[in-house]
Structure 1
Amino acid sequence: MVSPSRQGWPKPGAGPELSRPELSRRGLLTGVAGAGLLAVLAACNAAGSAPATTASSGAPGRRGGVLRAGSPPPPTAVDPVTMYDGSAIAIVQLVAEYLIWLDRDFKLVPKLAESWSSDQGGKRWTFKLRPGVTFSDGTLVDAAAVKASFDRLLDPKSKSAALSAFESILSAGGVSTDGTATVTFALDRPFSDFPYLVSAGNYNAVILKADYGGDFTKNAIGTGPFILKSYDSATGASLTRNEKYWDGGKPYLDGVEIKFYADDQADLLALQSGDIDTQILSRAALVEPLGASGVVTVDTVKGTGVTVLSLRVDQAPFDKKEVRQAVAYGLARPDILQAIGTGIGDLGNDHLLAPLFPAAPAGIPQRAQDKQKVAQLLQAAGVPQLSFTLTFDPPSKDYAVTIQNQLEQVGITVHLDQRSSTDFYGGDQAKDTPWLFTPANLVGWAGRPVPSQFITPMVKSKAVWNGSKYASPALDAAADAYDRASTDADRKAQAETIATILHEDVPIVIAYWSGAVRAYNGKKFDGIQAHPSSFVDFSTVSQK
C-alpha cells in the first residue's frame, strides 16, 4: 500500500513550508475543468494541430534560442514508468507524449490519439491513433506500442505509480488492439471519465516503444517536441529540437537546458540574475514578490490540490456529527487560503467537488468561522470542552499551527503531534499507519483529474485510503452513479448529492484548494505558463 503522495499524483507543493526536496516530490497537481463528457467527445472527434502561435501573446512563434530552466534534481531515476517527482516528469514530458494532454484549463487535448469513443455504457473505450506519428528513432507509433505501454503500467512488477490510478477501473489484460491504429480498453466497471486516466493527468501514461526496457536517460526515445541529448543526475539535462516532430512546425526553440539546484534560494537567485529563464517548480511565496520587478513574470493558475483534515467518525469525540461540524465552523477559510495557499486557489467547503470540476455544485452555503455556532454544536453533542490531537508530517506544519490557532479562538484545544514523513506514512497500512488511523490528521493530496479519484479512495465505504473510517450507503450509491453517468445533467445531480452528504456529515474538512505558479523572464520569452500540475509544454515557447 502507498500513501497519496506516492501514487500516481504526488502531493501539492503550494505551501510555504515545503523544503526543496519536498517541493520536487510533491510539486505536481492535477485538476480538471472544462467541458462535460459529451462535449469533450464531440470536440475530440475532430483532429488537428494547434495553430502556430505562442501561448500567451497569440503571435507567431519566433524560431531559435535555448530556454534555460531551473529545477531540483530528481530524487530517483528518470523513468517514465515509475517517476513521481516534478523534475523527472518535466524531463519526460519534453521527450515523450500521451494519448491526450491536459491543458492549463484541464480540457482534454488530442495528442497521439486523434479521437475516442465509448460503448457498453462507458465500460469499453476505443481510441483512434493519429496517423503518421513516429518515435524519434523513426519507428511508427502503432496500436501495439500503445498496448505495450499500458500493459507495462498494469503489471505489478513494474511498480508503476500509475497502477493505483487504474485500481477497480482497468485490470491487466484489459487492453487490446484492432489493426495498427485502434486501441480498446475493456474496463472493470463503467467509468465515463476514463479519457482522463490515459491523459497527462495520469502522468506515467506516456506512450513508449513496445520494447522499452528502462534506462530512459541513456536511450530516451519518444514522440515529443525535444530529444534528450545528455543527462547528469547532479547538474541537469540538455535537450534539442526534434526536427521530425509531428505537430505543425513546433517546437520553436532550438533546445532546452535544465539546470539542477539543490535549494530554493539558489534556484531563485539564478532566475533573478539571469542564469536561468524559468523554473520548472516555482514556489508562490518566493516568486510572487518578483512580479513587480518588470523582468520576472509570475503566471498563476488555480488547481485541485488539497490538504485534507480527516476526522475518525468511528471514535469519540468525532463519532458525533455535531463535533465534526463544530471543527468545520471553527476555521476562517479565507485566512487559511491566504496564509497557507498564498492566496492562489479557491475556498473549500468540506466536500470533494472542487470549484474547478465542471459538476461542482453552486448552491451549498459556504462555511465560515462562527464561534457561536461552534458553541451550540458542541453543547448539543454533550461535549462543551473539545480537545483533540492533530497528527501530521513536516510539510503540513504551518497548516497544523494555523488550525490550532484558529480553533483556539473558538474554544477548541488542539494538541499538535508532528511525525517524520517516514513515520507518518509508515507502519501497517491495513491497521496502524498514522495517516490512516490517528483520530485526526492532515494529509496532502495532489489534484486529481476527476473527482472520482478523490471520492473512491477517500470516503467510500471501506475505501483503501479512508482515514476517517466513514461509511455512507447513500454516498456510495451516488458515487457509483456519478462514475457511470453519461450526461452533464446526470453528473451534476450525483455530484450535488455527494457534496451535500459530505458537507453535512463532515468526515473530512477542506478549507482550501491550492493553485500553482510559474516564474519566467518575461522580457526574453513568450508562451511560458503555469500549469495546475506543474506540467511543462515548451513546444510553443519562443524568444521575443
Structure 2
Amino acid sequence: MKKWICFFLSIALLLAGMFFTGCGNGKTQAVQQIVIGESTDLGGYDPETNMSYYIRALIFNTLVELDADFKLQPALAERWEMTPDGKTWTFYLRKGVAFHDGTPLTAQIVKQNMDRLRTGMWRSFLPDIADVQATDDLTVVFHLKSPSFIFASDLTVPSYSIVSPTALDVNGKVVKAIGTGPYILEFWQKDQDFVLKRNDNYWGQAPKNEKLVFKVISDPDARAMALEAGMVDFISLRQSLTAAGRLAQNNKLKLEKRLGQTSEMLYFNVNNPVLKDLRVRKAVAHSLNIKEMIPGLLGDSAEPGHAFFSPVFGKYVMPKDVVLPYDLKQAQEYLTAAGWQVGPDGVRMKDRVSLRVRIAFGAKNAEDSLLAGVIQNSLKEVGIIAELVPLEDAALMDALKNKSYDLLMFGQFYIPHNEPSPHYLSGHYHPKAMYGLLTTPEITEAIDQLVITANNKERVALHHKIQGLISEQVPVIVLFHRNNIAAMKKNIMDYENSVGVWQVYRGLEKAYVQ
C-alpha cells in the first residue's frame, strides 16, 4: 500500500511538473527534454556540501575530470604539470570560459575557490596544500606541504567544482548554483522537482537536450512504476537493481548496463567484543554463498564479489580472490575453536550468552534489504542469530562513523577517482582515516609508503600489498561489484553509460529524444 501511495503521489507531481514546463499562454510548446525519475532532491546550491551527489557535474566543472571510462581528461584546466618531487603542480586554464552569469573564469577565481575548499568539508580528499597562487590570469600553481603524485586525480572529485564569485554571500556561503557546466539550474521546488536548462554558451560541446526535468520519487519501486507507466523517460537503477529484470522484459523500454566503480560491502565492527575475534569473522564469511546468492537475487545486474575493488580499477586491484569460499564445515570449526558451542536449539553459546549480531543496512536500498534477509538465514545455519536493522541514509552513515553497529552493509567508500589510494588513507585503514575499520602497524607503514612513492609500477605493487594485508584480517566481505544500470524509453538515443556512479546523468549530455 505504501508503494502504491508513493506511486500515485509521484504521478500527481509529474502532472504538475508537466503543466509547469509545457504550458504557456494556453499553448503547448515543443521542448527537447528528458524527464527523469530521481531518488533524491537537489539538496542545495553548494557542490561541496549540500547539492546532490549526482547532479553537481551537470552544473559545475572541476579543473580535471574523469570521462565515462574513468580516464583523466582536461576540463577547466586544459593541461597541467608536476615537479619531480610531487610538491608543486601547475594548471593552465582554458581561454574563453565563462560562468552561467557571464563572469569570465580566471586563475584568481580558481585560487579563491581552492582556498575555501582546502579547509572545507571534503579537505581530507586533498593533500596538505601550503598555498595556491594565481601567477597570471590563466595559470594556477599549487604548493603542497608533502608530495602527492595523484593530485590531478584528487581534483576530479565533483566536490571541488569551481563556483562563480557572484554565487557567494558576504560570509562566503554558496547561495546560488552558478557554475561553468553544460546545464543551468532553472527551477527548483524542494522535494518535488527541479529543472536544468541547456547552457548554450558551454565551453565544451553543448548538450543536445534543451532541458532535463528531474521528478523526485524517493521510493525505488515507485520510480520503476513511473517509468513503466510512461510518466518519466529515464531512471537510474542505483539502490533498485532488483527492478532490472522486470524492466528488461518491457518492450517499450531499454536498459544500458556497465560495471561501475563501486562495490557493496559487509563491514565488520572489529572492536565489537564478539567480532574482534578473527575466527568469528572468518566463520561469517565462510557462511555466505556469495557466488550463488548474488546471481540468484540480482541476476546479471551485479557481479558477485571477488576482488578488493571493482575490476574497473584494473592494475590497481590485487588479482587474488579476497572473498572466502562458501564452506559451512569450516565456518562451524572456526566458531567452535573460538569457544562458541552449539546449544540445544542450535544457537551458538558461550558463557551462557547466545551468539547474536545486528546487521544495519539502508532502509531504502532494495537490493540490500533482500541481501540482509538471505544473510540472516545463512548465519542461522551456523548458529548465529542476526537481527536486521534498516536505517535511513544519514543514520547509516552515523553508524559507520561512530562504529555503532556489528555488521553494516554499505557501498565501498572513499574511492573518489581513478586510483583508489584515498580508500586506505582517508577512508578506513589508517590512523588518520575518517571511518576507521582496521589498523595495524604493517598496514599503516605500507599506506604511508604509497603516499610518497612516485614510480607507478611500485605504486601498483604497494596497492596489492596493502589489499593483501587487509584481506588477511577479514574486516569486510565484498558482496558484489555494482553494475551502473539506467532504464529508459526506447526513444532516448545516444545515452552513454559511465563507470562512475556520480556520472550517470553526464551521459544524458549527448542523448536526445527521437
TM-score band, normalised by the shorter chain?
0.7 to 0.9
Aligned match of 1:523: 491
Alignment equivalent of 1:69, drawn from 30, 36, 57: 36
Alignment equivalent of 1:258, drawn from 199, 214, 234: 214
Larger RCO: Structure 1 or Structure 2 (Cα < 8 Å, ≥ 6 residues apart)?
1
Q: TM-score, normalised by structure 2?
A: 0.79
TM-aligned CA distance change 1:247 to 1:304, over 3 Å? closer
Aligned match of 1:80: 47
**Structure 1 SS opposite 2:201:** coil
Tell me by how many angstroms 1:365 deviates.
6.5
- Indicate the RMSD between aligned Cα atoms, in angstroms: 3.3
Alignment equivalent of 2:334, drawn from 352, 374, 377: 377
- Maintained 8 Å contact 1:142/1:181: yes
Give the Cα separation in 2 of the matches to 1:448 and 1:428.
18
Q: Which amino acid aligns with 2:441?
A: P
TM-aligned CA distance change 1:164 to 1:281, over 3 Å? farther
Give the Cα separation in 1 of the matches to 2:186 and 2:269.
51
In the TM superposition, what are the counterparts of 1:89-108 in structure 2 within 5 Å? 89-90=54-55, 92-108=56-72
Give the Cα separation in 2 of the matches to 1:140 and 1:346.
45
Alignment equivalent of 1:208, drawn from 152, 163, 176: 163
**Structure 2 SS opposite 1:416:** strand
Cα deviation, 1:422-470, whole Å, max 9, x if unaligned, reads 66555896xxx3xx154444444445324223212454343444554x3
TM-aligned CA distance change 1:175 to 1:281, over 3 Å? farther
1:541 correspondence with 2:496: no
In the TM superposition, what are the counterparts of 1:203-242 in structure 2 within 5 Å? 203-213=158-168, 219-242=176-199
Give the Cα separation in 1 of the matches to 2:276 and 2:231.
55
TM-aligned CA distance change 1:401 to 1:276, over 3 Å? closer
In the TM superposition, what are the counterparts of 1:117-516 in structure 2 within 5 Å? 117-156=81-120, 160=121, 162-166=122-126, 169-171=127-129, 174-199=131-156, 202-213=157-168, 219-248=176-205, 250-261=206-217, 263-279=219-235, 283-314=240-271, 316-338=273-295, 343-349=300-306, 352-358=308-314, 359-364=316-321, 367-385=324-342, 387-395=355-363, 396-409=368-381, 411-416=382-387, 418=389, 420-421=391-392, 433=402, 436-446=403-413, 448-449=416-417, 450-466=419-435, 468=437, 470-516=438-484
Give the Cα separation in 2 of the matches to 1:528 and 1:295.
19
Q: Which amino acid aligns with 2:164?
A: K
- Maintained 8 Å contact 1:312/1:318: yes
Tell me by how many angstroms 1:360 deviates.
0.5
Give the Cα separation in 1 of the matches to 2:104 and 2:387.
56
Give the Cα separation in 1 of the matches to 2:480 and 2:424.
17
Q: Which amino acid aligns with 2:32?
A: G
Aligned match of 1:113: 77
- Maintained 8 Å contact 2:323/2:478: no
Aligned residues: 463
Tell me by how many angstroms 1:321 deviates.
2.8
Larger radius of gyration: 2
Give the Cα separation in 2 of the matches to 1:128 and 1:341.
45
Q: Report the structure, 1 or 2, having the larger strand content.
A: 2
Tell me by how many angstroms 1:240 deviates.
2.9
**Structure 2: 5+ residue runs without aligned partners?**
8-30, 343-347, 349-354
Tell me by how many angstroms 1:68 deviates.
2.3
Identity %: 23
Q: TM-score, normalised by structure 1?
A: 0.75
- Maintained 8 Å contact 2:167/2:175: no
Q: Which amino acid aligns with 2:106?
A: D
Aligned match of 1:55: none
Give the Cα separation in 2 of the matches to 1:522 and 1:528.
14
Greater mean deviation of Cα atoms: 323-332 or 525-534: 525-534
Tell me by how many angstroms 1:534 deviates.
3.9
